[in-house]
Amino acid sequence: MKIIIVGCGQVGTTLAAQLNAEGNDITVIDTSGEKIKAITNKIDVMGVVGNGASHLTQQEAGVKGADLLIAVTDSDELNLLCCVIAKKAGNCHTIARVRDHAYNNEASYLKDELGLAMVINPELATAEEIARVLRFPSALSIETFSKGRVELIKFKLPEDSPIIGKSVKEVIGLYKYDVLFCTAERGDDVYITKGDFVFEAKDVISMIAPPRRAAAFFKKINFSTSSVKDAIIVGGGEITHYLCSICEGDGISLKVIDDNPEVCNRFAEDFPKATVILGDTGEQETLLEEGIHDTDAFVALTGSDEENIILSLFARTQFDGKVVTKINRLDFDEVLQHLELDTVVYPKNITSNIILRYVRSMKTKAGSNMETLYTIIPGRVEACEFRISEGSPVIGKPLSQLRLKSDVLIAAIMRGRSVITPRGNDTIQAGDSVILVSGAMGLTGITDAIEK
Amino acid sequence: MNYKMIRYTLGLILRFEAIFLCVPIVTGLIYREWQGLSAFVAVAGLCLSLGFFISYKKPENMKLYARDGFVIVSLSWILLSLMGALPFVLCGAIPNYIDALFETVSGFTTTGSSIIPSDVLEALDHCVLIWRSFTHWVGGMGVLVFVMAILPLSGAQNMHIMRAESPGPEVSKLVPRVRRTAIILYIIYFVMTLILFFLLLFDGSIDSGAKHTMGVFDAACTAFGTAGTGGFGIKGDSIASYSPYVQIICTVFMLLFSINFNSYYLILRSKLRDAFNSEVRVFLVIVAVAITAISVNIYLTEIEGAATVGEALRHAAFSVASLISTSGFATLDFNLWPDFSKLILVMIMFIGACAGSTGGGIKVSRIIILVKGMIRELGDLINPRRVKKITIDKKPVGSEVVRSVNAYLVTFVLIFAGSVLLLSFDPYVYTSPMPGGEVDGGKLLTNFTAVTACINNIGPGLDMVGPAANFAFFSPFSKIVLIFDMLAGRLELFPMLLLFAPTTWKRKQ
């Protein structure tokens, strides 16, 4: 597919790298020649220097033959303008990143009236992800499939867990729960958890199951499953704003700390129920005074990655509740894994994942349709959901007879309201949604998962 | 430095050289030249086995940085030449290895300077002759670009390789992927060569009364030499004894192959205005002015062979096309022309072809930037506070590009001066090739134009290295200096120099 990406910031670069690796022809546009040079040295893409909203620049980038234009510059207005012009000039699909929450309420209006295929708001998406973790703090991250009917849960095994030293087979036999373990990360290694995989302390496990079964399973292995009751949020940015509105509905009481009086005033106006604290976020005393020992969760959402990391590490030493850290920069994420952080959210990764999912679904092959895509381990394992339509070659065959690639796992079949944890003699039927966990990146249809 | 990746790429290059060697092997089979054939088969076998041996294991880390790209390109060219010279020695065509290496480097770098005397040349095996000419074709567009077009290498970092191998100050992609860009370039190259081949073949059906007519073999060799803007002839007097028709076709195609290949892609995409950018226009103007000046000059001085206006124009056009495209074919010995014409020819030798073509020289785009830079500098003296950017085709040229072009010129002059100095130690005895010429004193002109011809990848120079002569008389040391000049000139100086920088090779102990 021919894709134009306007804006070579971190999201633009990440997208270009991923989409290029999946075999698309990418042209990037940026006003800075330096940035274009840097990206073309790193990735096999073509660069055009210029204003992405200019018709001439878009022509030079080949908008006429393009299938998709993604506008991810810093400016919402520029992104929207890029999309409108591309739509007129090339009649391609367009995706704009729009972060201002003034526009956010009008997302659907913008989509319909300006003919955009998608409007993404990274802050809102991040807030939603944080809210999910707050509702189920035992997990490191939770992704949902099929509108929440199935969840992909990542968690870290504590040292006193009863399943340590047992194999996957034993655990399933012991607790008789239909959950499916997908992957385990141990240090820098990644394992696909087959039946004889033995759990060890500190393994990061990902698991797919419907929420109820997952909750029951967690109860059995002595995990707390209740939502947090209250949380301290440091930093009053857009994400915090969205998070407050979500949490208000969930009944989680929040304490927002920021050192800017204007920000505090705004929060006090918008969220009368929340406790807003005007104080220096960089001071230990403030956090201790506000009772970090007595809260269930701590969320670091300041504008600085370094501050977020330091605050979270400090919080980890003070209490054993949930700690969420927001990181903007995508570099050095391997180093972060060695820090004892709890949940880490990357707004930029979330944004690029959403766009990737859309691009994949544009490329879908006959007979299956991608619904959702999640990265379990960046660059190594992903989970995707396909809807199986009439005529797909996988219909009606028992799973044991499908010759799946060795690094692909069928994690769940959703039929109507029921969720089936697949066994060898189950079959896939038309209309089902199937979740695949795969070590091969870039599946575009279920047929990609089958040996040729 | 990613040493494993360098080793792996060199292995791939050897395998590809074995494939290239199939051309002389097939020729040898057709003409039943068993001795030559066995030499080529032996070297092809050696390349193949050595190639498989050292690139057997694919390195895990295929990441390349700019520096690795430069080193890979220069080492590949050296290795390619070292192996490519072997068949000449084995089959006895060129007994001395240094001479054979000179001939091969001259081939791959599309220089066309030869050490084979013209009487020996015509007696050589067909397979040897076609290998000489075929090296031009391979070297013209670049060997690694060819490898990239065929093999899906690591992908992302190939740009570093392409940049190091392609002529010109800046390399732009035609399409988002490097590999497809390489494929498009080679398709254009191949199709144009094929058209040239058939046009040359058509000569056989014209009764021109010329001494030689183009057969399949002659047409193939000439097409390879012209497409790569190389200039190895297969006749003692280059193109002179072929019909005027052949000469005119060659003139046109030498010029076509010295225009940026991106222009052809743009023409195919019917973007005519972008295709005729200022570099192409300036190039055509220079060619037109040079042809006019020289044809008037040689017509008025009544040079032998240029008696009529038509002949003068034909020979002037051929020589200008041959030298500005840095091919180096000849129809008349321009050594015998008046000084004015010779000086114009030497000047266009330095200017060279357009960037992104198969030609050598400093390149027209660099000349444009340098001249505009000079004009800007003059203007800045008049208005010291003026802010002015150099623009080409209404687009500003980045200051790093201007800087690198300036650095290129300085490096060029230094290497040039150094090489002429080294050549001056050569003890050969000067004998003027001119009838009744001076007995002594022409060494400086000979050395100067020999280096000019090599570093700009042209072929013939003036005086003792004129189009009717050859480079055999130089000492082995001088030949090595010239070999370096040819490689440096073809690879745009810096990749070769980088090989000699100790920090390039630094690794943790």
The 10s digit of each residue's pLDDT in A49-88 is: 889 888 888 888 888 888 899 999 989 899 999 999 998 8
For residue A43, list chain B residues with Cβ-Cβ distance below 8 A.
Answer: 156
Best A46, A48, A56, A59 member to test B by mutation, with max B CBs in 10 Å, is A46
Nearest to A25 among B159, B177, B398 (CB): B177
Whether residue A44 and residue B66 make contact (CB cut-off 8 A), yes or no, is: no
> B484: helix, coil or strand?
helix
Q: What is the DSSP letter of B333?
A: -
Do A381 and A190 form a contact (C-beta atoms < 8 A)?
yes
H or E segment at A182?
strand A180-186
Q: In Å, what is the CA distance from A287 to each residue of A10, A227, B333?
A: 32, 22, 91
Q: B66 and chain A: CB distance < 8 Å anywhere?
A: yes
Do B245 and B208 form a contact (C-beta atoms < 8 A)?
yes
pLDDT at A123 over 70: yes
Token digits of residue B328: 């180096």
CA dihedral for B249, B255, B261, B266, sign (positive or negative): negative
Q: Which of residues 37-56 of A touch B (CB under 8 A)?
A: 40-46
Residue B154 pLDDT: 55
Closest CA to A4 of A31, A33, A30: A30
Which chain A residue lies closest to B178 (C-alpha atoms)? A44
Which chain B residue lies closest to A2 (C-alpha atoms)? B176
pLDDT tens for residues A223-272?
A: 777 788 889 999 888 899 889 988 888 888 889 999 899 999 998 998 88
Query: Do the bridges between strand A253-258 and strand A230-234 make them parallel or antiparallel, or are there none, so unpaired?
Result: parallel
Partners of A419 in beta bridges = A414
Closest CA to A178 of A2, A444, A435, A420: A420
What is the nearest CA distance from A49 to chain B, expressed in angstroms?
Answer: 11
Residue B440 pLDDT: 59
Strands of the sheet containing A297-300, edge to edge, are A275-278, A253-258, A230-234, A297-300, A322-326, A343-345
Angle, CA of A266, A270 and A273, to the nearest 5°: 115
Partners of A370 in beta bridges = A386
Whether residue B173 and residue A26 make contact (CB cut-off 8 A), yes or no, is: no
Q: In Å, what is the CA distance from A365 to each residue of A26, A58, A446, A450, B430?
A: 21, 29, 9, 14, 75
The model carries a pTM of: 0.82
For residue A13, list chain B residues with Cβ-Cβ distance below 8 A.
Answer: none
Token digits of residue B333: 């010995």
What is the nearest CA distance from B384 to chain A, expressed in angstroms?
Answer: 27
Compute the distance between CA of residue B343 and CA of residue B273 in angstroms, rounded to an integer.
Answer: 34
pLDDT at A369 over 80: no
Whether residue B156 and residue A46 make contact (CB cut-off 8 A), yes or no, is: no
Residue type, B372: K
Q: B67 and chain A: CB distance < 8 Å anywhere?
A: no
Query: Do the bridges between strand A2-6 and strand B391-392 make them parallel or antiparallel, or are there none, so unpaired?
Result: unpaired
Whether residue A26 and residue B158 make contact (CB cut-off 8 A), yes or no, is: no
Length of chain A: 452
Whether residue A46 and residue B178 make contact (CB cut-off 8 A), yes or no, is: no
Partners of A438 in beta bridges = A382, A408
**Mean pLDDT over residues A296-321, rounded?**
89
Do A301 and A239 form a contact (C-beta atoms < 8 A)?
yes
Whether residue A44 and residue B160 make contact (CB cut-off 8 A), yes or no, is: no
Token digits of residue A143: 């992704």
Structural domains of chain A sorted by starting position, each given as residue range(s) with its CATH number in brackets: 2-120 (3.40.50.720), 138-220 (3.30.70.1450), 230-345 (3.40.50.720), 357-449 (3.30.70.1450)
Residue type, B99: D
Compute the distance between CA of residue A379 and CA of residue B169 in angstroms, rounded to an integer.
Answer: 36
Compute the distance between CA of residue B48 and CA of residue B18 in angstroms, rounded to an integer.
Answer: 6
Describe chain A by its helix, strand, coil percentages, rounded to 5: 35, 30, 35
Q: What are phi and psi of B187, to 5 degrees?
A: -65, -45
Residue A364 pLDDT: 61
What is the nearest CA distance from B74 to chain A, expressed in angstroms?
Answer: 20
Q: Where are the alpha helices (DSSP H) in B355-475?
A: 364-382, 399-423, 443-455
Whether residue A41 and residue B155 make contact (CB cut-off 8 A), yes or no, is: no
Do B221 and B133 form a contact (C-beta atoms < 8 A)?
yes
Whether residue B66 and residue A25 make contact (CB cut-off 8 A), yes or no, is: no
Closest CA to B22 of B4, B43, B7: B43
Best B63, B68, B173, B183 member to test A by mutation, with max A CBs in 10 Å, is B173
CA dihedral for A167, A171, A174, A178, sign (positive or negative): negative
Q: A64 and chain B: CB distance < 8 Å anywhere?
A: no
Angle, CA of B160, B163 and B168, to the nearest 5°: 165
The gap from C-alpha A441 to its chain's centroid, in whole angstroms, comes to: 16
**Mean pLDDT over residues A172-190, rounded?**
78
Which chain A residue lies closest to B181 (C-alpha atoms)? A46
Whether residue A26 and residue B176 make contact (CB cut-off 8 A), yes or no, is: yes
Compute the distance between CA of residue A256 and CA of residue A264 in angstroms, rounded to an integer.
Answer: 8
Partners of B368 in beta bridges = none
Closest CA to B283 of B198, B227, B354, B183: B354
What does the H/E/C string look like for B283-331? HHHHHHHHHHHHHHHHHHCCCCCCCCHHHHHHHHHHHHHHHHCCCCCCC
Length of chain B: 509
CA dihedral for B406, B409, B413, B418, sign (positive or negative): positive
Q: B262 and chain A: CB distance < 8 Å anywhere?
A: no
Compute the distance between CA of residue A1 and CA of residue B439 in angstroms, rounded to an integer.
Answer: 70
Closest CA to B434 of B339, B343, B338, B335: B335
**What is the pLDDT tens value at each position of chain B, 509 positions in all?**
778 888 888 998 999 999 999 999 999 999 988 888 999 999 999 999 999 998 888 877 777 777 888 888 899 999 999 999 999 999 888 889 999 999 999 999 999 888 988 888 888 889 999 999 999 999 988 888 887 777 766 555 677 777 777 776 677 777 888 888 888 989 999 999 999 999 998 887 777 777 888 888 999 999 999 999 888 888 878 888 888 889 999 999 999 999 998 899 989 888 888 888 889 999 999 999 999 999 999 998 888 777 888 889 999 999 999 999 998 888 888 888 888 999 999 999 999 999 888 888 899 999 999 999 999 999 999 998 888 888 888 888 888 888 989 999 999 999 999 999 999 998 888 877 776 665 556 788 899 999 999 999 998 888 888 888 889 899 999 999 999 999 999 988 888 888 888 887 877 65
Compute the distance between CA of residue B266 and CA of residue B284 in angstroms, rounded to an integer.
Answer: 18
Compute the distance between CA of residue A229 and CA of residue B152 in angstroms, rounded to an integer.
Answer: 55
What is the nearest CA distance from B170 to chain A, expressed in angstroms?
Answer: 12
Partners of A255 in beta bridges = A232, A275
Whether residue B175 and residue A46 make contact (CB cut-off 8 A), yes or no, is: yes
Burial B466-481 (b: 16+ CB within 10 A, else e): bbbbbbbbbeeebbbb
Token digits of residue A295: 């809260």
> A156: helix, coil or strand?
strand
What is the nearest CA distance from A18 to chain B, expressed in angstroms?
Answer: 12
- Counted across chains A and B, CB pairs separated by less than 8 A come out at 27
Residue reference for tokens 């099929």: A146
Token digits of residue A157: 């095994």
Q: What is the DSSP letter of B419?
A: H
Nearest to B159 among A20, A25, A44 (CB): A44
Which chain A residue lies closest to B162 (C-alpha atoms)? A41
Q: What is the DSSP letter of A364?
A: P
Compute the distance between CA of residue A272 and CA of residue A239 in angstroms, rounded to an integer.
Answer: 18
Residue A105 pLDDT: 76
Query: Do the bridges between strand A322-326 and strand A297-300 make them parallel or antiparallel, or are there none, so unpaired?
Result: parallel
Nearest to B398 among A26, A27, A33 (CB): A33
Residue reference for tokens 């966990």: A437
Q: Which of residues 332-371 of A touch B (CB under 8 A)?
A: none
Do B88 and B128 form a contact (C-beta atoms < 8 A)?
yes
Closest CA to B220 of B134, B139, B107: B134
